[in-house]
Amino acid sequence: MTSITIPSTRGSARNAGGVKGNPSADVRTRLRLVTASAHQRIHAHSGFAAAAAATISLSDYRLLLVRLFGFHRAFETVHMDSPFAFGEHRARSHLIAADLKSLGFDASAISRLPLCDTLQAPANEAEQLGDLYVMEGSTLGGVHIARALQTIVPGAGGRGRRFFLGYGARHGAMWRAFLERLEGLAAAPSAVGDAERAAVKTFDEFERWMSGWKALRSTSAEAHLI
C-alpha cells in the first residue's frame, strides 16, 4: 500500500491568513459558510452526481469507491496518529473496503490501491474538528446516494453500498455528538478560525484527490476489475 507523508504541523496554506465567516453565527454555520463553494463543487463532481442520479455505471462506481478509499484511509491514518482523539468508531474506510470486496476486489488488490499523500496532521483539536466537519458532513448526503445506488448495486443488507449507508441507525446520534463537540470551540475565536481554515483545506484536498477518480482504469494492475 502506498505510504503517506504525515508532517507534525499544518502547512503554510492552512496557517496563513484566515477565512472569514459570520462571526456572530454558531460554529457549524460559520464552517458551512466558508466551505459553501467547495461543497457545491463536490456535489457537481461527475462521479457523485451520477451516483446520486442512479446513472453511474458499475465500473465507474468501482472507480469512485477506489478513490474514496484512498482518501479516507489516509485521513484516518493521519488523525489516528495525531494526539487528538478521533476514535475508531468514526472510521469508515473499512466500509469502502467491504464494498470493494463485494464488487470483485480481493484483500491483496485493496492493499495496493493508491492513498492520498498530501494530508497533514492537525496541530490542535480545533483543526481536527474542522477536518472532521468535512468528513462527518459527507455522511448526510451519503444516505441519499445509497438509496439511489440500489438499482446499480442491489445487494441485500446494503452489500456494495455500506460506505454510503454510513453509521446506519446511529447516524443522527453520531452527527449530534460531533456538533456538540464542534460548538465547544465557540468560546475561543482563534480556535474557530483554525477550524474554518482546516475545513477549507480539507475540502480542497478532497476535491483535488477526487478529480483523478478515473485514473485507475488505465494505470493500475487492478484495471481488469474496472
CATH number where 187 lies? 1.20.910.10
pLDDT at 1 over 60: no
Residue 176 lies in a domain: yes
Residue 85 lies in a domain: yes
pLDDT at 19 over 60: no
pLDDT at 154: 85
Are 150 and 160 contacting, i.e. CB atoms less than 8 angstroms apart?
A: no
Residue 20 lies in a domain: no
Residue 13 lies in a domain: no
Residue 108 lies in a domain: yes
What are the cell numbers at 112? Answer: 495496493
Least confident of 19-23, 135-139, 141-145, 163-167: 19-23
Boundaries of domain holding 31 = 25-214
Residue 64 lies in a domain: yes
Number of domains into which the chain is organized: 1
Residue 15 lies in a domain: no
